[in-house]
Amino acid sequence: MQLRAYWAQFGVVYECDQSYHFLLKFSNLSFKYADTFDRKRNEAQIVERMGVIRDEVQRYLNDDQWEIFAADEVRVQQEAVIRRAWLKKGARTIVKVDREKAAQSYLGLLSQKSFTCELFELSWQKSSEVLRAFELFLKHHPDKRICVVWDNAPFHQSKEIRDALGTGKLLERVHLIAMPPYGLSVSFRPKDTMCHITEAELTLVLLSCMSSRYFLAFTCHFLF
């Protein structure tokens, strides 16, 4: 082990690997994945664009005629995964699993004024399904102008959605603001961080609550 060889230079040798792990822990280190950085990401352009978005959204926040929402799609999947464990020698350990896979996509819209979240089921993450969800969503806000900030996924910029923004169309009173390309890092997208933090909790709830209202509220609370 490289770590053992390194410490041996200083006359320190432990029989147990865990002892070396404790040394790292006491040095204020933790064993985790590093954050990735897309090579195509232009940090200066992203910071500039995010500043423009914040200024624009701030104007709507101060206007009672407008409601502002941060939107994103999420896909939750149920799947049996077997991991190694300390099991009794000389005896077979049987784990009963459900081999059927189940998944559900949602469109979530988080209000930037009331911080309440609205979730809509999607059969798939595509333009037609997003427009169907928007039709239901807009019925909840009949007398308001709507500003939606979301990422620049290809289907968010499709002709189908652009056509729906015209006068007399479904999204006539909706203003869409796209985030910059490669701009959804941890610093601008806390949802990804929350997904990692609550992964275990979601797994426990998923098996019994895939279609329940409680599960929708739980997902909404932690993912958006």
Between 17 and 203, where is the model more confident? 17
User: Are 150 and 176 spatial neighbours (Cβ–Cβ below 8 Å)?
Assistant: yes
Span 91-109, mean pLDDT?
Answer: 84
Q: Helices 213-223 and 190-197 sit at what angle, rounded to 10 degrees?
A: 120
Domains of the chain by residue range: 45-78+101-223
pLDDT digits (tens, 9 = 90+) for 150-188: 998 999 999 999 999 989 999 999 999 998 887 665 444
Nearest-5° Cα angle at 213, 222 to 120:
75
Question: How far apart (Å, rounded) are the C-alpha atoms in residues 54 and 60?
Answer: 10
Residue 193 has pLDDT above 50, yes or no: no
Q: How many helices, marked H, and strands, marked E, lie in the chain?
A: 8, 5
pLDDT digits (tens, 9 = 90+) for 8-46: 888 878 888 888 788 788 888 887 777 776 777 788 888
DSSP alpha helix (H) spans, 37-140:
43-61, 127-139
Q: How far is CA 168 from CA 43, 46, 127, 174, in A?
A: 38, 33, 19, 12
What is the dotted CATH code of the domain comprising 45-78+101-223?
A: 3.30.420.10
pLDDT in the model for residue 198: 38
Structure-token match 């077979």, residue found: 92
